[in-house]
Amino acid sequence: MPLQLTGFDFLKNPHYLFLFLFCLQRFKDEHWGFLPGFAELVGKGDKILDLKDAWVDNPNAETVAFTGKEADMIKHRFGLGGRATGVLYGSVDVAGTPTDVAVKLSWPEKSRPREKVFIDKAKEEFSGPEFATDNPCDYLPTILAAKEYPEFESGPLLQAVLQNEEDYEPIKLASRIPYLIAMPKYDPIASLTKDLTTFLAAFFALFYCHAMLWSVGIRHGDISDNNLMWDPKTQKPKLCDFDLSHLCEKPRRGVEEVGPNGPTGFSNTGTWIFMAAELLDDDAMAGEVKRVYRHEVEAFIAVLVWIICRYHDGKLRGGNPLGHWIQQSYLECNAKRRRTFNEIIKGIFPQPSGIPEDIWVPLCMALDSMRKHSGEAVAAQYNQVTYKRFVAYDPSYAFDGKSPEDYNALRALPKILTWPIFKNEAAQRFIGLVDGRILKPLGLKLEVARPSD
């Protein structure tokens, strides 16, 4: 992950050129931010890396050689150029046995738990005999290798460039460190749109997995099309990329969350085009909006709309549908997506070819249900705040008794699961699992859908 610099005119500023040449003569590749051991094979356009010291299973082989072509580097559409996550597909040879893998290199904050921490916690939480089948961990990625590069931590660099070292504040400057992991190569879940039944079953499986993770305090925080994947070998979907995830304190399964139990402030991160509308405004970006389970559900629905409208038969449709969602401003992104959702609800947006009525219409209705649910959540929050303020002055001040947590927390699932898209046959198995493993331990029951939904 090399340092990125702005260009300059060396004819007008020759001293910059001489300084640059001076540095080139004296600095090694590592000093420029090129990670050691990630060498390029001259003439082949390949990248090679020895992963032996990072391999989780510590094989007896002398080397664990990863090889991938530079042309197979996958860069995300969204993110910072210098520190955005990069993925390189290739193969790993362990003792003569090749395996297709994806190597991901990111630059997370030093204080954030690494992906393996979240997966290990999930395995610990879901290790009982009741999870002998339909284990949520079946839908988590397998970490083959993991490695940090502490010599490239950004904190000392940030401290060094300050004129006054006493101004250095580790938390505000968010010290970062390069982190490399290797996983089996997974396919995007959009590749399953050639069989919509399989696609929807995979989608609802990940919805179930995510809800189970939330119930034990694992907050994924970045539901996007790139993070919902499919393992062609095991024929199971995978919820990937825990770079932006958080761990919240949870005493035990079956106990509802209490208090400000969720990331806020500068943790308001994610992929804009899928983030809940409430998180795409100035207050949220300033850290004034608590992130709740409802926001994650809205992201799932946004991903579903995105994939159904953009992909057909496992391939991207022509004309770049919904491409206007991608904006440089989160406010514009929010406005563009809201307009699309309104058009879909009103029937103005054309039904995508290849999508049958029994999928498209329930999705349209679910968008309307989601909009109403979000509105009721905001209203409940407002009513609670005003009641607390005015009841001291006027004890007779009316309160409707509706708590924001009835819409925001896991106990909102009985309402959410009445949305028409969850009536799809492919969802029923996983709704049953959510009912048995989340709702019943909380003393909740599934609701019957209202006719207005």
Specify the pLDDT at position 158.
Answer: 59
Residues β-bridged to residue 66 = 49, 92
Estimate to the nearest angstrom the gap between the alpha carbon of 247 and the chain centroid. Answer: 14
Bridge pairing between strands 218-219 and 97-106: unpaired
Specify the pLDDT at position 79.
Answer: 45
Termini Cα distance of the chain: 49
The beta strand positions in 5-50, using DSSP E, are 39-41, 46-50
Specify the pLDDT at position 104.
Answer: 86
Tokens found for residue 121 = 């916690």
Q: How many CB atoms lie within 10 A of CB 79?
A: 13
Specify the pLDDT at position 68.
Answer: 76
Residue 436 and residue 224: Cα distance in Å, rounded?
A: 27
Specify the pLDDT at position 176.
Answer: 79
SS3 content of the chain, % helix, strand, coil (to 5): 45, 15, 40
Q: How many CB atoms lie within 10 A of CB 145?
A: 22
Which amino acid is located at 139 in the chain?
Y
Q: Are 163 and 139 a contacting pair, CB within 8 Å?
A: no
Question: What residues have CB less than 8 Å from 98, skipping those under 6 apart?
Answer: 91, 92
Bridge pairing between strands 64-69 and 145-148: unpaired
What residues in the chain have per-residue pLDDT under 50?
1-4, 41-43, 78-83, 171, 173, 251-266, 450-453
What are the pLDDT digits (tens) for 17-43?
A: 888 888 777 766 666 656 666 655 444
CATH architecture of 186-453: Orthogonal Bundle (1.10)
Q: What is the residue whose two structure tokens read 């990111």?
A: 106
Residue 1 and residue 431: Cα distance in Å, rounded?
A: 42
**Where along the chain do its domains lie?**
1-14+29-118+140-185, 186-453
Specify the pLDDT at position 218.
Answer: 95
Estimate to the nearest angstrom the gap between the alpha carbon of 200 and the chain centroid. Answer: 19
53 phi and psi angles, rounded to 5 deg? -75, -10
Residue 437 and residue 447: Cα distance in Å, rounded?
A: 16
Q: How many residues does the chain have?
A: 453
Residue 336 and residue 277: Cα distance in Å, rounded?
A: 11
Q: How many CB atoms lie within 10 A of CB 206?
A: 26
Q: How many CB atoms lie within 10 A of CB 59?
A: 14
Specify the pLDDT at position 58.
Answer: 65
157 phi and psi angles, rounded to 5 deg? -65, -45
Q: Strand, coil or helix: what is 190?
A: helix
Q: Answer left, alpha or beta for residue 58, where phi above 0 means left and psi between -120 and 50 means alpha.
A: left
